[in-house]
Structure 1
Amino acid sequence: MAPLRHRGPDQSGVYLDPDLAMANLRLSIIGLGDGIQPIGNEDGTLWIVYNGEAFNYLELKAELIEKGHRFATSTDTEVLLHLYEEYGSTCLQRINGQFALAIWDSRKKELFLARDRVGIRPLFYVDTAERLCFASEIKAILALEGTRELDLESLAEVFTLWTTVPGRTVFQGVRELPPGHFLVVQKGRPSVPQPYWQIPFYPCDPALRGADEAAEQLRELLTDAVRLRLRADVPVGAYLSGGLDSSIIATLISRHGTSHLRTFSLGFQAAPFDESRYQRELIDHLGADNRQVLVSNEQIRAAFPDTVWHCEKPMLRTAPVPMFLLSRLVRDEGYKVVLSGEGADEILGGYNIFKEAKIRQFWSRYPASQRRPLLLEKLYPYIFSNPSRERHYLQEFFAVRERGADSPFFSHEIRWENSRKNLTFLSDDCRSALAVYDPLARLAETLPEGFAERDLLARAQHLEMELFLAGFLLSSQGDRVGMAHSVEMRHPFLDYRVIDFAFRLPARWKLRGLKEKYLLKRAFRGVIPESINNRDKQPYRAPIRELFSAQAPRDYVDDLLSETRLRESGYFNPHKVARLYAKFLNTPAGLSSEFQNMALVGALSTQILHEQFVKGERLRALGRVTPDRVVRGGETPAPHRGR
């Protein structure tokens, strides 16, 4: 249990019988005095361990009491156990929450594993001839099963798509249960993961009479999503970036919460990344009590290895590190729970990649146009204004390729074509092993039927949710860096009712011309300051180039990117990486490209993974945890008064 102590420092428990062992480390948020896991049903035939929250547990509990169930605790964990007892696997459809759970049926000798709809909570497993192991993080499996080599195909996926294809991890033989799926284990053998929810796609809903009515419905849904996510027996705070989404969530908390609003925000030493002045505007507007961590380049560099340890995958950007530092501030201030604005961009049309695809589609209808590509300057003025880059080159970079706008991956092809250049830094042996592997072909196998016939925005939204949201934002920038400091992040925009509503909206109510999140802004006009509501989106970024200058300390970076270490691990061509690193050290800031930034961060994070997990140095340094509670199979839970 020691590898996961950060996820649950408050209590620990173990269930043991001849067929199964389950353990839980608890972060106590609901039912502080009576929620230690595992929790069993009245006769000890069903047992649950669980990480997460069922926000509608009070409504579910009332329904189950009417059906004759009786409860011995005040936890949502016990509610889910009885919900499964009543409905079986279909219980998942009734849960409004974020979770990874395991339920053991000792009569059937059957294990049920499930994960929430969008993948807020992680769940990994390894299936060997001897046994099946599962855990919330890979490090717990490796500590038990032994270290694993990195999977080259999965590395190619990360260096192309920024994450692995759903279901895969970068460790050989380690699988991830995809979001919205469950599986059943019988006689030690797992079933094929089964979906109980998929990213929705609907034709335009004829019941929506107009934008004003839709805006009101959206505001009501978000208000209720926030209300449910304020349920806790501990204080609840909010992340505040200074942008639209977090400002809306903070405002709703201030209106409907029962205590004074505490917010937490990031500031950056590097001015281009800092949004402090926008944060201050909303803080003053709400009268919130804000705490800020001011992040320096040196702090990001120093915390990068710890962040990789918790994220358990290579990273192509440093953005998770400030979030790691922010969650540490939250915990130091005595908070365990924060609400955040993740998900709004994906479901309501907030990203530049959506606008970029729209411009390129418009341009593709008249490829010879000299005026249409100029619209790109509205999205990326900081790129087109760079005197070291010619406008002709950038227009060529964004041009529509041979497959045209009908390609299923049209919205993302430029991003992926650019990032897959990272593969050129791999060693000759790795490139040879990957010669016939195409991450895009693997991704295409996962797309739903009829995907290519959807409209452009619907395709782009699906790809963002399937890959970037689940595989990066909710993991490396969400759960993993939050739980590293025992902080739970909750996301009202990812309430399944809000998602379902958003995907019934016409595209013009999400992206109106080149104005992002049109309906969301309409819904909260007059509720939040107009300067924030009308502000163009500023993507959250963190310094990269500034971390690897000649003025940076000579530390682990020099060591891990040395020829000796690169040859030892075998993933990268030492000469190519050395030339790249030398360029960072010897040229002024701002002259490296996004591709080069990603390549250096990707190589460094992969080298760190190799040291921590493949060589296993940090795994071996972990101690042991003595559980607070041990339950043996056949015991009747006490003082339970069940159905």
Structure 2
Amino acid sequence: MCGIAGSLQVDDGPVDRERLCQMIGAIRYRGPDDAGIYSHGPVGLAHARLSIIDLVGGHQPMSIAQDALVITFNGEIFNYIELRNELIAKGHRFTSSSDTEVLLHLYQEEGERCVERLNGQWAFAIWDAPRQRLFLSRDRFGVRPLYYTRLDGEFLFASEIKALLTCPQVPYALDLIGLDQLFTFWATIPPRTVFRGINQLPPGCSMIVQDGHITITPYWTLDLTGQIEHGSATDSQLAEELFELLQDAIRIRLRADVPVGAYLSGGIDSTVVAALARKSAGDRIRTFSVTFESSDIDESRFQHEASAFLGTSHSSIRCRHEDIVGVFSDVIWHTEQPILRTAPAPLYLLSRLAHDSGFKVVLTGEGADELFGGYDIFKETKIRQFWGRRPASRWRPLLLKRLYPYLPNIQRQSLEYLKHFFHVTPQALSGPFFSHLPRWELTAKTKQFFSVSTQAELAEADAVSSLLRDLPSSYATWSLFAKAEFLESRYLLPGYILSSQGDRVAMAHAVEGRYPFLDHRVATFAARLPASLKMKVLDQKYLLKQAVKGLIPEVIRTRAKQPYRAPDGLSFFSGHDEFVGDLLSSQRIKQDGVFDPRATDALVRKFRSGRETSVKDNMALTGILSTTVLLDRFMHGRNALSSPASQERHTPF
């Protein structure tokens, strides 16, 4: 894992080398081990390296064929050994054992289609001197970030937005449409970001910049059309196939010249990953967890159960309310977008623990919920579908209680609210966003805190309708379950889970996350499974649970899904509300102009009073706080572009 940046002068003028130094210096914490710059004529590439494979020979930017091809690369190609052997058989010669050099030779051999051969997570740029073009690509699920902007006569790209903002010509301005999307979906819809004029390359896409033109081409999308018919193979056969795929996905993700650890949440996904890693790597695996003070969200019992069963060396960190408040501003500095829940903050602390323990690489279980029906939204979709077809069924209250087993004390008023939340008409079943619309509508209620001027500027915006043009042509023929899977994996996964909760908080401490469930072979297999093998009645991840019998503790294999949660509004009002008082003062809110001062003040008073607060209240408070921090750290003048202490440890070179 690393940080990359670069510039291409469209008018063929010389590249500004000092600018490259400033860009890569702004994200040096992503790669504290080494740094380098290549500049020649109109192109400049910069790199900050976190050394993981070929610690000595992997310096970047790297070139071959007398600088005909030059690369700056962030990520890992896990099948690089197999690809290297193929290329050697075709006559290619290598001077290092790095995956970076394999990627260069593969591009030399196969051109832009080389990305179809890759098993990994990446964001890279290759300068193709003979063709005078810049080729950029981002991995299938968007594990690694890649941003770009077009100025007058210049194209700039980088791993993070703050690198682009070091350039004086790049504006510091909030994109209100991006903000509107985030306050609906929890994420922006690529290529948009919350920074005006700065775009992100969508997952599964490549880009060519040549002769002043930008061409973006998708090379992969999760195909949910060709599903296996239930009965064409037995459940046990499919479970065995899944197990073998996961085992190999983890085997190649253990490839590193540094120690590899694993995050252990106490759920089935991370426990499976840790178990298979332990099976392959033995005593080399160490596990890490975050715990909480509240028993409602703490999973330490299951973390200890898993660690004891697997025999791993285990470390954990306790996340208290004051810890969340203490790192919140730095977390937003790294996420580079507002967040509606505080969940990234504990993971920021967890990655710091891994780093301080001497680990640069951790395996984790993200992706399993999206691919194998693990989220509540899949159960909600099934129940709402049932209700839409049988609106008078007496099973409705019982289904609601089965829906959220991790909330054992659902009150009567909560059940009444859920009945309203799940109200559905038969006509709604045919809508393109049936599964997610209730969630999006609930989140969008936070926009009532937008100021009059913000709402006026967004009067013509329709976040949900804007998704229609991004859907696959066959989408309308998919099942409701498949549509829900697509929406989760297409938008929330890359835009929030792998970003604000993934790459950003991990790389803040130079820790690389690896995601075996997002191996494209596993994902393709999962996409072909019928919904009945992912959720049997309301039993989530059915086939995955069958595949790992005996591998992990039975109490974890069979336990109900408990979503990862962290304390939200309560954290800011547990003896530390001066943080809120400073950021959300009426004067500050009025000055920023994004939110309504009166509505914001009423929300703060509600939390301070100790009155019961809703999901919407917690999302709104965290969203307003994080947006205000974002404005404070990034947009109130260029002098405000200052880094947390974690960055200041590193000099540019």
- Correspondence 1:266-281 to 2 at 5 A: 266-281=290-305
1:186 to 206, 210, 214: 210
Partner secondary structure for residue 140 of structure 2: coil
Whether 2:385 is the aligned partner of 1:364: answer no
Partner secondary structure for residue 184 of structure 1: strand
- Correspondence 1:40-51 to 2 at 5 A: 40-51=63-74
1:223 to 224, 238, 247: 247
- Correspondence 1:115-134 to 2 at 5 A: 115-134=138-157
The alignment yields a C-alpha RMSD, in angstroms, of: 1.7
Give the paired residue count: 624
User: Per-residue deviation at 1:126?
Assistant: 0.2
> Counterparts of 2:388 and 2:246 in 1: how far apart (Å)?
37
553-562 or 457-466: which moved more? 553-562
1:602 to 614, 623, 627: 623
Q: Tell me, yes or no, if the aligned pair for 1:166 and 1:466 is still in contact at 8 Å.
A: no
> Counterparts of 2:154 and 2:540 in 1: how far apart (Å)?
49
> Counterparts of 1:627 and 1:138 in 2: how far apart (Å)?
17
User: Per-residue deviation at 1:390?
Assistant: 5.4
2:587 to 558, 564, 571: 564
Task: Tell me what 1:593 maps to.
Answer: 614
Distance 1:367 1:470, change over 3 A: same
Partner secondary structure for residue 580 of structure 1: helix
Task: Tell me what 1:82 maps to.
Answer: 105
Deviations 1:123-148 (A, max 9, x none): 00001222110000000001124442
- Correspondence 1:238-317 to 2 at 5 A: 238-317=262-341
Whether 2:59 is the aligned partner of 1:27: answer no
Deviations 1:313-343 (A, max 9, x none): 1100000000000000000000000000000
User: Per-residue deviation at 1:468?
Assistant: 1.0
Partner secondary structure for residue 413 of structure 2: coil
> Counterparts of 1:22 and 1:174 in 2: how far apart (Å)?
19
Deviations 1:571-614 (A, max 9, x none): 000000000011001125xx210011000100010001101111
**Higher relative contact order, structure no. (Cα contacts within 8 Å, ≥ 6 residues apart):** 1
> Counterparts of 1:341 and 1:140 in 2: how far apart (Å)?
29
> Counterparts of 2:649 and 2:350 in 1: how far apart (Å)?
28
User: Per-residue deviation at 1:554?
Assistant: 4.1
Deviations 1:112-168 (A, max 9, x none): 000001100000000122211000000000112444211111111000111111211
Task: Tell me what 2:469 maps to.
Answer: 445
User: Per-residue deviation at 1:386?
Assistant: 4.4
- Correspondence 1:150-229 to 2 at 5 A: 150-191=174-215, 193-205=216-228, 208-229=232-253
> Counterparts of 2:417 and 2:288 in 1: how far apart (Å)?
41
User: Per-residue deviation at 1:27?
Assistant: 0.3
2:86 to 34, 40, 63: 63
2:555 to 503, 524, 531: 531
Q: Tell me, yes or no, if the aligned pair for 1:269 and 1:295 is still in contact at 8 Å.
A: yes
User: Per-residue deviation at 1:370?
Assistant: 3.8
Whether 2:448 is the aligned partner of 1:391: answer no
- 2:350 aligned partner, one-letter code: L
Deviations 1:519-546 (A, max 9, x none): 0000011111111110111000000132
Partner secondary structure for residue 209 of structure 1: coil
Task: Tell me what 1:638 maps to.
Answer: none
375-384 or 309-318: which moved more? 375-384
Q: Tell me, yes or no, if the aligned pair for 2:406 and 2:560 is still in contact at 8 Å.
A: no
> Counterparts of 2:649 and 2:228 in 1: how far apart (Å)?
55
Q: Tell me, yes or no, if the aligned pair for 2:33 and 2:49 is still in contact at 8 Å.
A: yes
Q: Tell me, yes or no, if the aligned pair for 1:363 and 1:373 is still in contact at 8 Å.
A: no
User: Per-residue deviation at 1:403?
Assistant: 4.5
Q: Tell me, yes or no, if the aligned pair for 1:282 and 1:529 is still in contact at 8 Å.
A: yes
> Counterparts of 1:149 and 1:401 in 2: how far apart (Å)?
42
Task: Tell me what 2:11 maps to.
Answer: none
> Counterparts of 2:339 and 2:323 in 1: how far apart (Å)?
17
**Percent identity over paired residues:** 49
Deviations 1:180-208 (A, max 9, x none): 000101134322x1100011113332594
Task: Tell me what 2:493 maps to.
Answer: 469
Task: Tell me what 1:415 maps to.
Answer: 439
Q: Tell me, yes or no, if the aligned pair for 1:245 and 1:341 is still in contact at 8 Å.
A: yes
Task: Tell me what 1:634 maps to.
Answer: none
Q: Tell me, yes or no, if the aligned pair for 2:388 and 2:426 is still in contact at 8 Å.
A: no
Q: Tell me, yes or no, if the aligned pair for 1:362 and 1:372 is still in contact at 8 Å.
A: no
Instruction: Name the TM-score, length of structure 2 as normaliser.
Output: 0.93
442-451 or 225-234: which moved more? 442-451
Partner secondary structure for residue 143 of structure 1: coil
1:619 to 624, 630, 641: 641
| Structure 2: gaps (5+ residues) | 1-23
> Counterparts of 1:383 and 1:9 in 2: how far apart (Å)?
43
Partner secondary structure for residue 273 of structure 1: coil
Whether 2:406 is the aligned partner of 1:406: answer no
144-153 or 287-296: which moved more? 144-153
> Counterparts of 1:135 and 1:429 in 2: how far apart (Å)?
32
